[in-house]
Amino acid sequence: MLKNKKLFLTRIKQQLGEKILSFTIRQPNETEIVVKKDQLAEVCRFLCQEKEGRLFTMVGSDEREFAGSFVLYYVFSFDETQQFITVKTMTPEEDSTFPSLAAEFPALNWYEREVKDLLGLRPQGHPDLRPLILHGDWPEEIHPLRKEFDVSQNAPRVKSRESFMQYEGDEVTEIPVGPIHAGIIEPGHFRFGAVGDTVLYLDARLFFTHRGLEKASEGMPLSKALFLAERICGVCALSHAVSFAQAVEAAAAVEIPLRAKYLRTLFLELERLYNHIGDVGNICAGFGFAVGVSQGTILREELLMLNERIAGHRYLRGIVDLGGVRFDIAHPDYADILSTLNKIEIGFTELVDILLSHDIAVDRMSKTGILTLKQANDLEVVGVAARASGRNIDIRRDQPYAAYDKVSFTVPVYTEGDVLARIRVRIDEVFQSISIIRQIFIQMPTGDVSVGLPPISPYARGMGWVESSKGETVHWLMTGPNETVERYRVRSATYSNWPAVALAVPGNIVPDFPLINKSFELCYACCDR
């Protein structure tokens, strides 16, 4: 494996030749390539198309103070060799533009618009330059992630620049929905263009819950920013906490104790369990299957109560520490977890049997909201949605973290790409999670659960990632002076997957939108930050 990695990197270096300014192996698993802006497209194309890299995250950063320019980082994951390659390019303040690659790599669409909104760098040639993160009434010339902007500064509201897809023809009805919805759900605004019951096109206005968390973290001590990371999202709280901690630990080049790795894995799987089981129940609400909804919420509640008994928090906040976990668990906890899981396994099996043997339920789910493999690949879709469309990725297996390289599990992949496939992925993963937790209790060694961090130098970089119940979540971190945050970029699964919902809905009937939406089960809070 090691030899493969070396060969892989050497070949890339040779093939890129003079197109790049530098080639540096920064970490055993991360290589940085610096390019001039005009070579960006060609280098990214080479890495994606010839080397089968997939876009992991893209980060814009204001480094004028210490590096004299704005910097863009495009991170690609190479799952086969377990490598990351970061393509870095600089743009000075006088020339605040960069070449847009969105037309060629649709997955970059949102990232580039985000850089435009928050940093004021213009992606040249971008096909859709509507505002994204900041809504249309935010002044176009103010960019919160520029260092001179103070986090508490308030910008005046200007005349809105919002615009939506326009339709022609008598038969087309436009249906606006949200941002405040009828149920207890998160805010988003949707515009359906429909002919009769059939959706022609779905346009969306998201980022209503943008709280400015990345900006708020800047200058914050790393130990405090951990609490902020935990509060990006309620139901992915632990995934975010672990991702952030891993990013800090990577920047500090620290290895956490093995027992802490196992404990993180245990809690991460408990997070996946309550989410997946709750989501299976919730999807039933999409077609009024009340017995599924009730059964799902009962099982979910039992898992939340278990979380509280074991960790003191129903949503698993306050567990992770930089360098490990905050507390250990003992044998009574083991027994509690295992016996609860036995009960859950029986109850969930019963729910699945009822659901999948119900012809009407299965009929409503199958061939509804299809996302094709090509669409999933083009948009770099992650998580459950990816695996339901035949895209075989799972970051727990592909770039293992915590103790995922110590336990065995299978990654379910379906090819239909419909609601049924997405629910089946979740169902299979529930049983895999229970199996992972049982293995943890057999294998987990004794020992410390945290290790102190050494001093971290300013402008060190680190990345952390977790396969949350929604899909892979990536935290990119650059440290500042005195162990603070200089730049923090959170790319959640929802950020990668929302554009896919807009592709899966057209052609379906309007009443199936809630069902399709629930089958992706995206967190707006994760996405909007």
Partner 1 sequence: MSEQKDSDLEIKLQQRIKEVLGKSLHIRHVDSGSCNACDFEMNALSNPIYDIQRFGVDFVPSPRHADMLLVTGGVTRHLEEAVRKTYNAAANPKIVLAVGTCACGGGMAGQTYAGNGGVDKILPVAVYIPGCPPRPQALLEGILRALDQYEDRGESNES
Segment contacting partner 1 (CB under 8 A): 292-300, 419-427, 496-504, 506-514?
292-300
AA identity, residue 314: R
Tokens coding 90: 């600089």
Select the residue interacting with partner 1 from 20, 41, 172, 185 (CB under 8 A): 185
Q: Shortest approach of partner 1 to residue 107 CB, angstroms?
A: 24
Tell me the CA end-to-end span of the chain in Å, nearest whole number: 38
3-state secondary structure of 379: coil
Using CB under 8 A, which of the segments 58-66, 78-86, 294-302, 365-373 binds partner 1? 294-302
What is the spatial distance between Cα 25 and Cα 2, in angstroms, rounded to a whole number? Answer: 14
317 binds partner 1 (CB under 8 A): yes
* Least distance to partner 1, CB of residue 209, Å: 4
Place of tokens 């209790």: 441
**Cβ-based nearer residue to partner 1, 11 or 161:** 161
Of the residues 227, 408, 481, 482, which one makes contact with partner 1 according to CB under 8 A: 227
438 in Cβ contact with 408 (< 8 Å)? no
Q: How far is the CB of 239 from partner 1 (least distance, A)?
A: 13
Q: Which of 212, 219, 257, 347 binds partner 1 (CB under 8 A)?
A: 212
Specify the stretch interacting with partner 1 by CB under 8 A; choose among 75-83, 312-320, 344-352, 497-505: 312-320
The least distance separating partner 1 from the CB of residue 7, rounded to whole angstroms, comes to: 44
> At CB < 8 A and 24+ separation, what contacts does 389-392 make?
389/414, 389/415, 389/416, 389/417, 389/421, 390/414, 390/415, 390/417
Q: Does residue 276 belong to the site contacting partner 1 (CB under 8 A)? A: no
Task: Give me the long-range contacts of 5-11 (CB less than 8 A, separation at least 24).
Answer: 5/81, 5/82, 5/83, 8/78, 8/81, 8/83, 9/83
User: Which stretch, 15-23, 174-182, 409-417, 435-443, contacts partner 1 (CB under 8 A)?
Assistant: 174-182
Give the nearest distance from C-beta 192 to partner 1 in angstroms: 18
**Local structure of 56: helix, strand or coil:** strand
Residue 48: strand, helix, or coil: helix
Among 15, 24, 294, 349, binds partner 1 (CB under 8 A): 294
Q: Which of 113, 300, 364, 396 binds partner 1 (CB under 8 A)?
A: 300
40: phi then psi, degrees, rounded to nearest 5: -55, -50
For partner 1, give the closer residue by CB, 35 or 206: 206
Which of 29, 173, 297, 340 is in the footprint of partner 1 by CB under 8 A?
A: 297
- Is residue 209 near partner 1 by the rule CB under 8 A? yes
The contacts of residue 289 (CB under 8 Å, 6+ apart) are 355, 358, 361
Q: Is 525 in the site for partner 1 (CB under 8 A)?
A: yes
The answer to the question of residue 400 lying near partner 1 (CB under 8 A) is: no
In the structure encoding, which two tokens stand for residue 280, read together? 């299976």
Q: Is 284 in the site for partner 1 (CB under 8 A)?
A: no
In the bound state with partner 1, the residue whose beta carbon lies nearer, of 232 and 361, is: 232
262-279 in b/e form (b: 16+ CB < 10 A) is bbbbbbbbbbbbbbbbbb
Q: For partner 1, which residue of 73, 84, 105, 315 counts as binding (CB under 8 A)? A: 315
Using CB under 8 A as the binding rule, whether residue 304 contacts partner 1 is answered as: yes
Asked if 290 interacts with partner 1 (CB under 8 A), we say no
CA distance 437 to 268: 10
Rank residues 135 and 491 by Cβ distance to partner 1 and give the closer one: 135
Distance (Å) of CA 306 to CA 97, 295, 299, 344, 431: 51, 17, 11, 11, 18
The candidate with the shortest Cα–Cα distance to 236, out of 190, 186, 193, 274, is 274
Question: One symbol per residue from 93 to 132: x for binding partner 1 (CB under 8 A), - otherwise; what is it?
Answer: ----------------------------------------
Q: Binding of partner 1 at residue 510 (CB under 8 A)? A: no
**155 lines the binding site for partner 1 (CB under 8 A):** yes
Angle, alpha carbons 75-80-82 (nearest 5°): 55
Q: Angle at the Cα of 409 (from 403 to 415), degrees rounded to 5? A: 130
Candidates 5, 210, 396, 491; binder of partner 1 (CB under 8 A) is 210
By CB under 8 A, is residue 37 in contact with partner 1? no
List residues bridging with 175 in a β-sheet: 192
- Could you say which of 172, 258, 298, 460 contacts partner 1 (CB under 8 A)? 298
Which residues of this protein are in contact with partner 1, per CB under 8 A? 135, 138, 144, 149, 151-155, 179-180, 182-187, 207-213, 215-216, 227-228, 231-235, 237, 294, 297-298, 300-301, 304, 314-315, 317, 523-525
